[in-house]
Structure 1
Amino acid sequence: MATTLDTFDRKLLREVQEDAQIPQNELGSRVSLSTAAVNRRLRRLADEGVIERYAAIVSPEKVGSPLTIITSIEVESEQIDLLDAMKRTFSQCPQVQQCYYVAGEWDFVLVMTVRHMEQYNELTRQLFFANNNVKRFKTLVSMSRVKVGLTVPVDLDE
């Protein structure tokens, strides 16, 4: 069920997605609210699950993991317990940045950040070859990061 958001909520969401560390008084100035109102609204948006969490965006290159890999996976069986086990395994792997259970030719799509191809090769052994429910997988190696983000478009008109 969607949360009812007014124009102020939507403006706040746009701003904090761009910079979650912006001081609340400056945020208030940008959206025409008092600091106290900003604080109350952000707390409510977090309590209602609209804001899931705040995070820092780290440069993979600067921390020694410059290689982005996208992997599509087809499973042998879509039995619920087997899918749940795969979701847990993928979620617990620190190199997996994003995991999607998808419709179509493939069942999962993973976006991973790794140090080098040898590390990815080891991950294929752990995550795919060692899992009897992986039928096949396909690997795409990113040549450059063109756009990376998790910003959700927030329309002001609604």
Structure 2
Amino acid sequence: MELQIDTIDRKLLRVLQQDSRKSIQELGEVVGLSPSACHRRLKGLEDKGLIRGYRAVLDADRLGFTMQFFIEVGLSSQSEPSLDAFEAAVADIPEVLECHLMAGQSDYILRVICRDHEDFERLHRRLAARLPGVARIHSNMSIRTVKALSGLPV
């Protein structure tokens, strides 16, 4: 269910997605509100669950994660216990940045990062050997990221 928000809320959300470190004073100046009114708006957006948290965006390359892969996973069974077991296991692998349950040819698509080819080989073996119910894995290496946004088009 989409919550109704006005143009000021949308502007506030856009600004926060670009830089969540801005002070209430700075946010208020950008969206045209006093600090107290801006604080109330921000608190309201948080209370409605539109803002789930704040985080730093890290530079993967500078931290040594130079390789990114998209891995399609097919399971031997699509029963609820099989899906639950797979999802619980994949949640414990830090290199898996995203895991999406799919409709179509693959059951899941994972986005993973690795430091180098050896790191990827170790991760691939771990995925194939240790994740429950895996019948097939197909990996695609990303050559470069053309567009990557962490925000939403509000």
Q: TM-score, normalized by length of structure 1?
A: 0.91
Question: What value does the CA root-mean-square deviation take over the aligned residues?
Answer: 1.3
**Partner residue in 2 for 1:152:** 152
Equivalent positions of 1:6-21 (< 5 A) are 6-21=6-21
Q: How many residues align?
A: 154
> Contact conserved, 2:24 with 2:35, CA < 8 A, in 1?
yes
> Could you say what secondary structure the match of 2:111 adopts?
strand
1:37-76 CA distance string (max 9 Å, x none): 2212212212221111111111111111111111111111
Structure 2 gaps of 5+ residues are: none
Q: What is the distance in 2 between the residues matched to 1:98 and 1:70? A: 9
Moved more, 124-133 or 136-145: 124-133
**What does residue 68 of structure 1 align with?**
68
- Measured in 2, the distance between the counterparts of 1:131 and 1:58 equals 28
Report if the CA contact (8 A) 1:89-1:127 is conserved: no
Task: Report what 1:42 is aligned to.
Answer: 42
Indicate if the aligned counterparts of 1:75 and 1:135 stay in contact, CA closer than 8 A.
yes
Q: Which amino acid in the other structure matches residue 10 of structure 1?
A: R
Q: TM-score, normalized by length of structure 2?
A: 0.93
Identity %: 33
Which residue number corresponds to residue 23 of structure 1? 23
> In the alignment, residue 30 of structure 2 is paired with which amino acid?
R
- Counterparts of 1:70 and 1:145, CA distance in 2: 12
Match of 2:134 in 1: 134
For the residues of structure 1 that align with 2:37 and 2:80, how far apart are their CA atoms? 44
Please name the residue that 2:109 is paired with: 109
State the SS of the aligned residue for 1:63. coil
1:132/1:94 CA distance change after superposition, 3 Å: closer
1:95-127 deviations in Å (ceiling 9; x for gaps) = 111111111101111111111121121112222
CA distance in structure 2 between the partners assigned to 1:53 and 1:70 by the alignment: 26
Question: Is residue 30 of structure 2 the alignment partner of residue 33 of structure 1?
Answer: no
Equivalent residue for 1:119? 119
